[in-house]
Amino acid sequence: MKYFCKVRLEAGKNQETTLFLILNAADGEVPELSKAAVVESREYRLFTQGIRSKVMVAEYSVYRTETEITANLENERFERLIESGAAEIVSSGEMQIDRNEKRDRKTGEIVRKRKKSPVLFLAAAGGVMMFSMAAFAVGKNFGRGTALPDTSFESENVAEDGLIIPKQDEVADNAEQITVTIDRSYSAVPVEDLQLKGAVRKGKANILLPEFDKTDFFTHVPGYSWGFTSDPNGKKIEYYGGQAYDFTGDTKLYRVLVKYGGGSGTRDDPYRIDYFDQLELMSEEKARGYFRQTADISFPIWASHTPIRTVNELKADPDSEHFEYDGGGFLIENLNAPLFETVSGAVIKNVNIRNSSIVTETYKDYAFLVCTAYNYHYLAEDEKVYETGETIIEHCSVSHSSITVKLPEPEAEEEQPAITTMEVVPPDVIEYDEDGNIIEPKEEPVEPTKHAEHCIGAITRIGGQIDGCYVTDFGIFAKLPDYYLYCGGISGKPAAVTDSAVFYYSAQGTIFNAGGVVGSAAGARAYDAKGRELPNSYGGSIQGCLARNIILKTETAAGGIAAEGTTDAEGAVISNCYCNELDFSCGEFKDAERVECIKAGIVGGMIAADGSGKHGHLITNSVSHSDFKVIGQKSKSLFDETVRLAPAYAYYQENILTVLNKNTVNPVNPKEIYTGSFMFGKNGVFGDDQGSLAYPEKISDLLAKTIVEENEV
């Protein structure tokens, strides 16, 4: 038996949230919820980031279930367990949480704070410096909402001017020293310069500089950052806060305010992004240039993201409009909208989106990384054709996230008293034929018109050359009158996808076509300078990809790799791919529980069905699930003798690599050769008790990182 707890936290008017915690229970005992379990949970910490209230109320209910549950399940899945009756309530209660209380993790007893000394001792390199309390307001909250900092060397000091002064190593009085003096004349309260001293070793001293508290609303400028410069009139950050530098002589530093987190936006000196409001400034300015993320970014629970739109304006010099965002391998968490809305000719790489949720009732395209990647063509006066080129998206991931598009639940109407009235019955209108016989009216069945056009994907909804990306624990839930045309674990309809993997992905609701990797493999279309779609699509190849543990509940088509095949481009292939653990429910059903099927849909291990493209796909060097046809319904696409049909256990065998890592030759251009790069991981990394499963080598570090994150949750 498994136990979990539903907790409703309330911190004041319109400040509330709901979180779910898994509880560990001894045999035969019902577990109890503790304050420590709530306070130490990640959801609690996120909720309290933007909350000033020191006391909050937690109403909770403990449930038990026989369903297997894990800590990274989405709230909606816990709610469905409760609504369906699969989880039974066993206890409930209420507790008050005082955020000022600190408890010992072992004993649970409240730890009393020591009284503060009337003098603040600042730990500085080279000794201890004393600043009179006249420089600070006694008892006033500092930046992070904490009281006056502790005076020991083991804590940071947060000053009124937004400086977070870190602990420094002690330096002997008789040691050779270098002093870094930081000018603080910008402070509203007069404060003497800060001096940091470091011992000289081999002619230089390594000194850790203070950083700036971005949560201090009095000193922080949204979208901008403070840094240091040695030039009193300098406009550029030379020294970043919170970093250690080697100094060869005494230096005086001055505070400087710059856009984003620093940098100049060039290839050699990209803009630095390290805080959520800098992404909002990028959106506001329709950013151009080069950007690099330098820290994990987590959106506060109260913050709403505006997707970034950065479109190449098709000047004769395409480089003048270049855009590149390098996520640096850091995380972006708690997004409630696509990171990028529309881009063209861009490069987006090393971005990891985690623990994010888009919940909306607006019927349009959605993806977490890029909604739309356009490729524009431009005819210049010299009759030359310029184009932005396809957007390159590489080495990115989306994990533990979902997109939910549904109408709000209708409010319960108050029952009105019945009113009895006299019913008025109109006279029958009877028609007769020439012989005087009554003409019986014919009832023509009216088929409801179903509208579908938009796409959803984790990485992109449409467009993009996607390479080395990984999606795990991703869900699409659509419940609107209109249908979504294409949904995919990686993309709804990309230009092409290589060396990418999807693990544990579900798409269900008002969806026509869904695939484990892509909704449609038709490729992308280019657009002219006026935004008009050019006639023929290009691309469409899917190579070196896998889809595992896929649940698709659609109406028209469901495919392990793609729901729809065929493209206008010659020589498109689906090669060196495989999919395993497929759960498809495809068709038109009479009931919401999808029990009584009116019209069956089309399913396929690789492709569900061919579309309207001019040319079919060639499927080669791939392994398809033996429970399904390789192509559910084909008109142009083909598969050759290198494709293997295999049961689930075969995917754990080493000889799968002999198929997946074979050379794939483009049938149209024999010089184009693709070789799979699949490898087997250690048991438990990408497998289960049956053994390991193969995955593309390009995502090996993303995969390992995600597994570590799951263990941390």
86-95, 96-105, 489-498, 505-514 — which is least confidently predicted? 96-105
Query: pLDDT band at residue 544, thresholds of 50, 70 and 90?
Result: very high
Which range among 331-335, 386-390, 418-422 shows the weakest confidence by mean pLDDT?
418-422
CB contact burial 517-527 (16+ within 10 A = b; e otherwise): bbbbbbbbbbb
Those residues whose C-beta lies under 8 Å from the C-beta of residue 153, and which sit 6 or more positions away, are 123, 167, 170
Cα separations (Å) of 526 from 373, 464, 529, 573? 10, 11, 10, 20
Amino acid residing at 683:
N
Gap between the Cα atoms of 488 and 364, Å rounded: 15
**Is the pLDDT at 616 greater than 90, yes or no?**
yes
- What is the C-alpha radius of gyration for the chain, rounded to an integer number of angstroms? 31
pLDDT at 426 over 70: no
Confidence tier at 158 by pLDDT (50, 70, 90): low
Statement: residue 595 has pLDDT above 90: no
Mean pLDDT of the chain: 82
What pLDDT, on the 0 to 100 scale, is given for residue 184?
A: 83
pLDDT in tens, 262-315: 999 999 999 999 999 999 999 999 888 999 999 999 999 888 999 999 887 655
Q: Among the ranges 108-112, 124-128, 607-611, 704-708, which has the highest mean pLDDT value?
A: 607-611
Closest alpha carbon to 271 in 223, 230, 204, 309: 223
Residue 394's pLDDT band (cuts 50, 70, 90): very high
- Res 55: pLDDT: 74
Mean pLDDT, residues 697-712: 77
Per-residue CA distances from 146 to 7, 138, 282 (Å): 26, 12, 31
Instruction: State mean pLDDT over 199-219.
Output: 87
The mean per-residue pLDDT over the stretch 613-619 comes to: 94
Q: Among 366, 323, 364, 363, which Cα is nearest to 343's? A: 323
- pLDDT higher than 70, residue 125: no
Q: What is the predicted pLDDT for the residue at 135?
A: 29
Is 243's pLDDT higher than 70? yes
The Cα–Cα gap between 172 and 127 comes to 7
Q: Once rounded to an integer, what is the mean pLDDT over residues 350-361?
A: 94
C-alpha to C-alpha distance for 112 and 519, rounded to whole angstroms:
58
Averaged pLDDT, 553-576: 95
Chain centre to alpha carbon of residue 418: 51
CA distance 125 to 205: 10
CB atoms within 10 A of CB 174: 6
Report the distance separating Cα 542 and Cα 618, nearest Å: 10
- What integer pLDDT is reported at residue 416 of this predicted model? 64
The answer to whether 529 touches 498, Cβ cutoff 8 Å, is: no
* Residue-level pLDDT at 106: 40
Tokens of 17: 């949230």
pLDDT at 68: 82
Instruction: State the pLDDT confidence band at 389, using cuts at 50, 70 and 90.
Output: confident
pLDDT value at 683 more than 70: no
Give the model's pLDDT for residue 321: 66
Q: What is the pLDDT of residue 217?
A: 75
More reliable by pLDDT, 116 or 78: 78
> Which has more confidence, 297 or 133?
297
| Averaged pLDDT for residues 132-142 | 29
pLDDT of amino acid 283: 94
Report d(CA 437, CA 315) in Å as an integer. 76
Residues contacting 378, CB < 8 A, separation 6+? 314, 316, 385, 386, 387, 388, 528, 529
Q: What is the pLDDT of residues 454-480, one digit of tens each?
A: 999 999 999 999 999 999 999 999 999
State yes or no: pLDDT of 490 exceeds 70: yes
Max CA pair span of the chain: 126
The 3-state secondary structure of 300-368 reads CCCCCCCCEEECCCCCCCHHHHCEEEECCCCEEECCCCCCEEEEECCEEECCEEECCEEEECCCCCECC
* Contact indicator for 638, 614 with CB cutoff of 8 Å: no
Choice between 171 and 60, residue whose per-residue pLDDT is larger: 60
d(CA 630, CA 658): 19
pLDDT value at 547 more than 80: yes
The per-residue pLDDT for 50 is 62
- Whether 575 shows a pLDDT value over 70: the answer reads yes
> Is residue 514 pLDDT above 90, yes or no?
yes
Average pLDDT score over residue span 661-680 = 91
Which pLDDT value is given to residue 124? 30
Q: What is the pLDDT of residue 311?
A: 82
Q: Domain ranges in the chain?
A: 2-111, 120-259, 271-407+451-712
Asked if residue 632 lies in contact with residue 557, where contact means CB atoms within 8 angstroms, the answer is yes
User: In the structure encoding, which two tokens stand for residue 354, read together?
Assistant: 């985690």
Q: Are 28 and 38 in contact (CB under 8 A)?
A: no
pLDDT of amino acid 305: 94
Q: Model confidence at 144, in pLDDT bands (50, 70, 90)?
A: very low
Q: pTM of the entire structure?
A: 0.73
Instruction: Say whether pLDDT at 518 is over 70.
Output: yes
**Is pLDDT of 620 > 90?**
yes
Which pLDDT score is estimated for 708? Answer: 62
Judge contact between 291 and 273, C-beta under 8 A.
Answer: yes
Say yes or no to pLDDT of 98 above 60.
yes
State the pLDDT at residue 483.
Answer: 94
Mean pLDDT value of segment 161-172: 79
Pseudo-torsion of CA 48, 49, 50, 54, nearest 10°?
A: 40
What is the 8-class DSSP label of residue 427? P
| pLDDT score of 42 | 75
pLDDT at 444: 62
User: Please, are residues 489 and 517 in contact by the beta-carbon 8 Å criterion?
Assistant: yes
What pLDDT does residue 638 have? Answer: 95
Q: Which residues pair with 270 in a beta bridge?
A: none
Residue 642 has pLDDT above 90, yes or no: yes
Kindly tell me if the per-residue pLDDT of 75 is higher than 60.
yes
Angstrom distance (rounded) from CA 513 to CA 566: 14
For residue range 15-54, what is the model confidence (pLDDT) as tens digits? 788 989 988 877 778 888 888 888 878 788 777 766 666 6
DSSP letters along 536-580, please? EEE---EES-EEEEEEEEESSEEESSEEEE-BSSTT-EEES-EEE
Q: Is the confidence at residue 182, as pLDDT, over 80?
A: yes
How far is the C-alpha of 78 from the C-alpha of 147, rounded, in Å?
38
Instruction: Quote the pLDDT of residue 627.
Output: 94
Distances from the Cα of 416 to the Cα of 411, 413, 422, 423, angstroms? 15, 9, 19, 19
Residue given tokens 């689906």 in the structure block: 574
Q: Which two tokens mark 400? A: 């533990």
Residue 650 pLDDT > 70, yes or no? yes
Q: Using CA atoms, how far apart are residues 44 and 254, in angstroms rounded to an integer?
A: 38
Judged against a pLDDT cut of 70, whether residue 414 lies above it is answered with no
* pLDDT, position 94: 86
Of the ranges 304-313, 363-372, 438-447, the best mean pLDDT one: 363-372
Q: Which residue has the tokens 């759960």?
A: 583
